[in-house]
């Protein structure tokens, strides 16, 4: 009877654990195996080819560009989404009469489909689109750009759209964290002569660490796994200027290079794991120490 009581909690999680193993662990293990093969659509026999696929990844200019773009997208969006998220959360945590309406407005882009966002932004970002015309109308014609067709800035344009879409979601998490901080701390800081900035640095940020931890992990993993934003807005173009790992994986599978595509997917999994696990460990320790 004692044994059955101890195992009761495990019985409850067993169905979810089986589903997780079946649809995540098993495909990951199988994919890891196939990433070391020459698995292709035009070959009947699958042969082990060692590190050939990974050597191709690190010697092919297009694949290296995709890796670079993925890192750029992850870094820019992690910073942008979290900075704007905190700023919006702090601003809308004040006693504004329209704060609930503003919260809804800033949060609403995060529930939109990327397809809808693409339909809205693509005409606006053309050379003769609304954004360039707006710059010209206020005397800032030098800022006009070919936002989605200039190889030098296209990935940054996609980053900006992603930040616009998701910053409201990060804002909601930061708002929940801010509302859990007792007001007594701020009152005591005010009595001690601390201004708004010192209160923010020494009270808000330390007590907001759990929310920061969650948002950093969500935005980092989402940034490294980017696919839909690039695929819908640019298709990896112009040329290959905005290719990311996700679009390269899809292209490899579409061309029948399944072994190479699986190797790219395995590499992405390893990179996400190597970055996110130490970061999570560091943030958890920081959160406990605070």
User: Is the previous residue joined to 238 through a cis bond, with omega within 30 degrees of 0?
Assistant: yes
Strand partners, 37: 48
Query: Distance between CA 248 and CA 229 in Å, rounded?
Result: 14
Q: Which residues contact 155 (CB under 8 A, 6 or more apart)?
A: 69, 72, 73, 230, 241, 242
**pLDDT confidence of residue 281:** 85
Cα-Cα end-to-end distance for the chain: 43
**pLDDT confidence of residue 247:** 94
What's the rounded mean pLDDT across residues 205-221?
91
C-alpha count within 13 angstroms, C-beta hemisphere, residue 219: 32
Q: Which residues contact 24 (CB under 8 A, 6 or more apart)?
A: none
Query: Distance between CA 81 and CA 103 in Å, rounded?
Result: 15
Q: Is 160 exposed, middle or buried (0-12, 13-18, 19+ CB in 10 A)?
A: middle
Q: Is the pLDDT score of 66 beyond 90?
A: yes
Report the percentage of the chain scoring pLDDT > 70.
97
User: Could you read off the pLDDT of 2-15 as tens digits, one per residue?
Assistant: 556 667 777 888 88
User: Could you read off the pLDDT of 118-148 as tens digits, one per residue?
Assistant: 889 999 998 889 999 999 999 888 889 999 9
Superfamily of the domain at 60-289: MetI-like (1.10.3720.10)
Distances (CA, A) of 120 to 53, 123, 133, 169: 39, 7, 16, 20
Q: Is the pLDDT score of 73 beyond 70?
A: yes
What's the rounded mean pLDDT across residues 191-215?
87
Which uninterrupted H or E stretch holds 247?
helix 245-254
């Amino acid at each position: 009877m004692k044994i059955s009581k101890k195992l009761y909690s495990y019985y409850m999680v067993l169905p979810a654990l089986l589903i997780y193993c079946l649809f995540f662990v098993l495909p990951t293990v199988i994919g890891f195996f196939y990433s070391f093969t020459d698995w292709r659509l035009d070959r009947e026999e699958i042969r082990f080819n060692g590190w050939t696929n990974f050597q191709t990844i690190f010697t092919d200019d297009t694949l290296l560009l995709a890796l670079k773009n993925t890192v750029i997208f992850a870094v820019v969006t992690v910073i942008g989404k979290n900075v704007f998220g905190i700023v919006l959360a702090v601003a809308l945590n004040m006693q504004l009469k329209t704060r609930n309406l503003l919260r809804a407005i800033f949060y609403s882009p995060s529930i939109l489909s990327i397809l809808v966002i693409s339909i809205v932004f693509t005409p606006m970002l053309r050379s003769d689109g609304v954004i360039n015309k707006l710059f010209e109308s206020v005397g800032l014609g030098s800022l006009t750009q070919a936002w989605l067709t200039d190889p030098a800035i296209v990935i940054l344009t996609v980053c900006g759209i992603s930040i616009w879409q998701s910053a409201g979601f990060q804002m909601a998490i930061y708002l929940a964290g801010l509302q859990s901080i007792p007001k007594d701390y701020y009152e005591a800081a005010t009595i001690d002569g601390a201004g708004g900035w010192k209160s923010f640095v020494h009270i808000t940020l330390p007590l907001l660490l759990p929310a920061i931890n969650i948002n950093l992990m969500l935005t980092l993993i989402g940034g490294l796994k980017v696919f839909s934003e690039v695929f819908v807005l640019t298709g990896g173009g112009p040329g290959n200027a905005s290719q990311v790992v996700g679009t390269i994986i899809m292209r490899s599978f579409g061309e029948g290079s399944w072994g190479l595509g699986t190797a790219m997917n395995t590499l992405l999994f390893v990179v996400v794991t190597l970055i996110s696990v130490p970061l999570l460990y560091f943030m958890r320790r920081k959160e406990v120490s605070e």
